[in-house]
Amino acid sequence: MTALDPSSPVAVVGTGTMGQGIAQVALVAGHPVRLYDAVDGRAREAADAIGARLDRLVEKDRLTGAERDAARARLVPAGTLGELADCALVVEAVVERLDVKQELFRALEDVVGDDCLLATNTSSLSVTAVGGALRVPGRFVGLHFFNPAPLLPLVEVVSGFATDPASATRAYETARAWGKTPVACADTPGFVVNRVARPFYAEALAAYEARAADPATVDAVLRESGGFRMGAFELTDLIGQDVNESVTHSVWQSFFQDVRFTPSLAQRRLVESGRLGRKSGQGWYDYRDGADRPAPHTGEPAGAPAHVVVEGDLGPAAELVALIREAGIEVRPEDGYGAGRLVLPDGGTLSLTDGQLPVSKDLVHFDLALDYRAATRIALSASRGVRPGLLSEATGLFQALGKKVSVIGDIPGMIVARTVARIIDLAFDAVAKGVAAPEDVDTAMRLGVNYPLGPFEWSRRLGDTWAYYLLADVHEWEPSGRCAPSLALHRHAEAAEDREGAAS
């Protein structure tokens, strides 16, 4: 089944920010668009607002004047649902309440034809539940756009339990015809993005609650070492703490309070205090006029070691060897087995975090980086009894490589490594349970939340067993089950080891 013909009328019910954005996308794609809102006058206001945005597109040379005028002529505010009778697609973007959405779609079924595609833009409710009371539930589908809809390319096309494959295909092809990048997924709590993204927020909050690092330091490490566009605390301030917590709570409840999705008490207290982020003036950060932005913890300048001994294979951190040489520090290679490490002149060692705590007084862990050459900050962690001078020498080594250094508390898996491993784990779990294909998960996470790599891309880069063993070690230290690797990730790691064994 192909996309809707551009001559087919499309209706959008609900004229808030998201509804207006979806209407603009359909309008620019060439469809006649009807706007409906239950509040008198809102549809007309929304049409005017969309018209103003079309004017700005002309000013930016993204539309011609003739295209704008034609689009405006195709945009019609509707006073009643009855005016949507001839529409081929109706997209709902009203309040996130199951009863409200169900009542709306029952009313729409009395108006539109049986061949009209009905879609919900819900981000947190079950598509199956929303469409469950319909007379023709097979034509019902989720079309989850991301805000702002005209700018963000991703659309999750969600098949409910009763959705006909032909309806899902038509919705998918229509989204693609509108210039979007659709991904097909099953109706599961959080769909793809809001399910797989939970650890990005959860692990930052866990580090904060464990007093391993303050929000500014966590954010700086995620950005400058992990390669994420924004840190978790600044991103939730932008989203709105109430909105982010609501999605987390919804996913947690929908998975029958699965411990992997447990909400944060610290975020709950922030919401209860009214500190909702940018929109309220305060969240994790203070956005009021004149307020200072807290700086991340950054180590004082320290001396670099004269030489470094490299033992074994550094794995994801192998690039450090070349960087150390380029910094003019002598590298002395030695044979070694297992996980690699850097040995400093006084006998202390540096190793990439493996999920264990750095309990030895002679050991310092460093965090994962997306790209050790491009990273501008590295996090270090050591036990409270670490030998005096070792942490300073480790700091000096990374400073000699041009990196800022943040020393954090001794939390298993640190910040970036733990976050990335959990994202990979939830992605494998989602695919194993039929939520989406691996390539669609990668696309969704790159386009929906701007991750530098998709989870499966990360897994291939880091090694097929890396995430499993890191999470298994984290789980030993924190046996709540929240970080326990999934069966899907275990099977993936086991299969990789079998392949390696057969090849050797």
Structure token digits, residue 195: 């399910």
- The catalytic position among 8, 121, 123, 459 is 123
Average pLDDT over residues 30-56: 96
Our answer to whether residue 381 is catalytic in this structure is no
Residue 328 CB burial class (10 angstroms; 0-12, 13-18, ≥19): exposed
Over the stretch 422-470, which tens digit does the pLDDT of each residue have? 999 999 999 999 999 999 999 999 999 999 999 999 999 999 999 999 9
Kindly report, residue by residue over 233-290, the tens digit of the pLDDT. 999 999 999 999 999 999 999 999 999 999 999 999 999 999 999 999 999 999 999 9
156, 203, 224, 234: which is the annotated catalytic residue?
A: 156
Q: What is the pLDDT of residue 502?
A: 85
- Is pLDDT above 80 for 334? no
Concatenating the DSSP letter of every residue in 73-134 gives: HHEEEESSGGGGTT-SEEEE---S-HHHHHHHHHHHHTTS-TT-EEEE--SSS-HHHHHTT-
pLDDT tens track for 141-169? 999 999 999 999 999 999 999 999 999 99
pLDDT at residue 338, rounded to an integer: 60
What's the confidence (pLDDT) of residue 3? 96
Tokens of 298: 């950054």
Residues 6+ positions from 285 with CB-CB distance below 8 Å: 215, 216, 233, 234, 237, 291, 293, 294
Residue pair 8/84 in contact (Cβ under 8 Å)? The answer is no
Statement: residue 339 has pLDDT above 90: no
Asked whether the predicted pLDDT for residue 78 surpasses 70, the reply is yes
Mean pLDDT, the chain, rounded, equals 96
Overall average pLDDT of the 352-372 stretch: 96
**Residue 144 annotated among the catalytic residues of the structure:** yes
- Partners of residue 159 on adjacent β-strands: 186
Among 144, 365, 475, 492, the active-site one is 144
pLDDT over 80 at 111, yes or no: yes
How sure is the predictor about 1, in pLDDT bands with cuts at 50, 70 and 90? Answer: low
Q: Within 10 Å of residue 434's Cβ, how many Cβ atoms?
A: 10
Q: How confident is the model at residue 333 (pLDDT cuts 50, 70, 90)?
A: confident
Band of the pLDDT at 503, cuts 50, 70, 90? confident
- pLDDT bin (cut points 50, 70, 90) of residue 335 is low
Type and span of the H or E element at 333 = strand 330-339
| Catalytic pick among 194, 225, 244, 486 | 194
pLDDT for the residue 208: 98
Amino acid 108: pLDDT: 97
b/e string for 293-308 if b means 16 or more Cβ within 10 A? eeebbebeebebbeeb
| Mean pLDDT computed over 319-328 | 96
pLDDT of residue 124: 86
Give the predicted TM-score (pTM) of the model. Answer: 0.95
